[in-house]
Amino acid sequence: MTSKAEGPLRGIVVVDLTRVLAGPYCTMVLADLGARVIKVELPVLGDDARHSGPFIDQEGQGPVSGYFFSVNRNKESIALNLKSPEDREIFEALVEEADVLVENFSPGTMHKLGYDWDTVHARWPELVMASISGFGQTGPYRELPAYDMVVQAMGGIMSLTGEENGPPTRVGVSIGDIAAGMFGVMGIQAALLERHRTNRGKHIDVAMLDTQVALLENALVRYQVEGKVPGPIGSRHPSITPFGVFKAKDDPFVLAAGRDAKFAVLCEQLGRAELAQDPRYTTNPLRCENHAALKADIEEALADKTAKQWMAIFKRAGVPCGPLYDVSQLMRDPQIAAREMLVELPLPSGSTLRTAGNPIKFAGDAAPDHRPAPALDQHRQQLLNEINAIQTSRRQK
Answer for the pair 1, 36: CB distance below 8 angstroms, yes or no: yes
Q: Which of 334, 331, 344, 332 is nearest to 371 (CA)?
A: 344
Considering the chain, tell me which residue range(s) the CATH 3.30.1540.10 domain(s) occupy.
Answer: 243-247+252-323
Would you state the pLDDT for residue 369? Answer: 86
Query: How far apart (Å, rounded) are the C-alpha atoms in residues 182 and 174?
Result: 12
Q: How confident is the model at residue 350 (pLDDT cuts 50, 70, 90)?
A: confident
Q: For residue 254, what is the DSSP state? A: E
Amino acid letter for position 207: A
Distance of CA 336 to the CA centre of its chain: 17
Residue 4: predicted pLDDT: 67
Q: Distances in Å between the alpha carbon of 121 and those of 99, 115, 252, 385?
A: 12, 9, 55, 26
pLDDT for 19-28, tens place per residue? 999 999 999 9
Q: What is the dihedral of CA 73, 88, 388, 34, to 10 degrees?
A: 30
d(CA 250, CA 311): 13
Q: Give the model's pLDDT for residue 396.
A: 86
Q: What is d(CA 248, CA 261) in angstroms, rounded to the nearest whole number?
A: 23
**Helix, strand or coil, per DSSP, at residue 146:** coil
Q: Which of the two residues, 4 and 308, has the higher pLDDT score?
A: 308
Number of alpha carbons in the 13 Å side-chain half-sphere of residue 87: 14
Question: What is the rounded distance in angstroms from the CA atom of residue 231 to the CA atom of residue 228?
Answer: 9
pTM for this one?
A: 0.94
Q: Which residues of the chain does CATH 3.40.50.10540 include?
A: 13-215+337-396
Residue-level pLDDT at 354: 94
Q: Is the peptide bond before 54 cis (omega within 30 degrees of 0)?
A: yes
pLDDT of residue 60: 58
- CATH number belonging to domain 243-247+252-323: 3.30.1540.10
pLDDT digits (tens, 9 = 90+) for 27-82: 999 999 999 999 999 999 999 999 999 998 766 567 889 999 999 999 999 999 99
Q: So which residues are the catalytic ones?
A: 237
Give CA angle at 129 (124, 134), nearest 5°: 150
For residue 88, what pLDDT is reported? 98
d(CA 340, CA 34): 17
Phi-psi bin for 210: left (phi > 0), alpha (psi -120 to 50), beta?
alpha
Average pLDDT over residues 223-238: 94
Residues 120, 118: Cα–Cα separation, whole Å: 6
Helix (H) or strand (E) holding 79: strand 75-79
Please write the tens of the pLDDT for every residue from 98-123. 999 999 999 999 999 999 999 999 99
Percent of the chain with pLDDT over 90: 90
pLDDT digits (tens, 9 = 90+) for 155-205: 999 999 999 999 999 999 999 999 999 999 999 999 999 999 999 999 999
The end-to-end CA distance of the chain, in Å, is 17
Return the CATH fold of 13-215+337-396.
Rossmann fold (3.40.50)
